[in-house]
A = this chain, B = another copy of it.
Amino acid sequence: KHSFNIAVIAGDGIGKEVMPEGLRVLDAAARRFGIALHYKHIEWSSCDYHAVHGKMMPDDWKAQLAGVDAIYFGAVGWPDAVPDHISLWGSILKFRREFDQYINLRPARLFEGVPCPLANRKPGDIDFMIVRENTEGEYSSVGGVMYEGTEREVVMQQSVFSRHGTDRLLKFAFELARKRERKHLTVATKSNGIAVSMPWWDGRAAEIAAGYPDVRWDKQHIDILSARFVLQPQRFDVVAASNLFGDILSDLGPACTGTLGLAPSANLNPERRFPSLFEPVHGSAPDIYGKNIANPVGMIWSGALMLDFIDQSGTVGRQAHDAILAAIEQVLAEGPRTPDLGGSASTTEMGKAIAAAV
């Protein structure tokens, strides 16, 4: 009954190291809650597939993913093998766009046992959710170079915002805020400097907000908003942001909670017309790859988000999610912990401990 098909793409670098721990914990949760998970392991990465075929994925990648309920994704990118923008536009950014995963949900939460880089903050002070637009805006491949290769060279990079794309993002964020205790939404903007798109974006926010009188909301320029993540993180509940602003805030937010290694993300197509994708916020981290010291929590937490999303009954998936979160909390507080958290455990040890706690 609760049976799901999951495409598993470990990718490059530490993606290969954290993925086994993600699967270990998923399996533990699946056993406990009577969920059947069928994995389809796929090796699309810069170092493997691209190295052989000169591209990140086969041409029939969509067909190969037809019928999966979700994609569980590690990380891609290996600059020595393929330039970053090629590996990413050929993989993760392609999924986001072609599977219309227009919501990128990224929680930031301070846990017991995790050394916080901010002074005098305790668990509970930082607990917010970033809702990032994931398909358009500043991430576009539209643009070009004029007078190429000369002194007069000019480069144009188009940001493209559609009403359709902006409204659905804002609505999702308002809906989410409405369901939370504090019912507060902050909308990131930069309408004082980016003169065409951002005043328009503010207008969309104001119009959508009118439909949510029960949600308190404000808009903040991205510069001061970033500063406030550091100075007043307790002030945030849900934060809605464009693709680029959401990218920045969703590294900065988790950094304020101690380490990017914890941060999960859910790339959602809420209508379920296409598979959604779950991945840690961190990248392939060539600098620490091969040592088995990467923090597996971002991967594991992403798995929890996945179970919650794919189970539409709202029962076992939710329960499995909560159990994994509780296990993460327990292991963060009691250890074993990886070196980024001040511990000396390996990726595997930490993954096993979390699986055991589930």
Bound complex: CA of A85 vs CA of B190, how far in Å? 9
Bound complex: CA of A196 vs CA of B260, how far in Å? 27
Bound complex: CA of A180 vs CA of B53, how far in Å? 46
Cβ–Cβ < 8 Å partners of A36 in chain B: none
Does residue A52 face the partner (Cβ distance < 8 Å to B)?
Answer: no
Which of B162, B164, B194, B251 meets A224, CB within 8 Å?
Answer: B251
User: Which chain A residues in 193-246 approach chain B with CB under 8 Å?
Assistant: 193-201, 222-224, 226-228, 230-231, 243-244
CB of A78 to closest CB in B, whole Å: 12
Cβ–Cβ < 8 Å partners of A195 in chain B: 85, 89, 139-141, 143, 157
Does residue A181 face the partner (Cβ distance < 8 Å to B)?
Answer: no
CB of A321 to closest CB in B, whole Å: 26
Q: Known: A117-B118, A151-B164, A163-B153. Is A227-B252 also a contact (CB below 8 A)? A: yes
Does residue A142 face the partner (Cβ distance < 8 Å to B)?
Answer: yes
Q: Known: A231-B117, A251-B224. Is A196-B156 also a contact (CB below 8 A)? A: yes
CB of A253 to closest CB in B, whole Å: 9
CB of A294 to closest CB in B, whole Å: 15
Does residue A158 face the partner (Cβ distance < 8 Å to B)?
Answer: yes
Bound complex: CA of A224 vs CA of B65, how far in Å? 31
Bound complex: CA of A89 vs CA of B119, how far in Å? 37
Cβ–Cβ < 8 Å partners of A198 in chain B: 85, 157
Number of residues in A with C-beta < 8 Å to the partner? 68
Does residue A161 face the partner (Cβ distance < 8 Å to B)?
Answer: yes
Bound complex: CA of A193 vs CA of B191, how far in Å? 22
Docked-complex contact A88 and B250, CB < 8 angstroms: no
Mask for A61-95, Cβ within 8 A of B = 1, else 0? 00000000000000001000001110011000100
Give the interface of A toward B (CB within 8 A). Answer: 77, 83-85, 88-89, 93, 115-120, 138-145, 150-164, 190-201, 222-224, 226-228, 230-231, 243-244, 247-248, 250-252, 254-256, 259-260
Beyond the given A138-B193, A156-B158, A158-B159, please list 7 additional residue pairs across the A-B interface where CB-CB is below 8 A: A118-B119, A140-B195, A141-B195, A153-B163, A155-B161, A155-B162, A227-B254
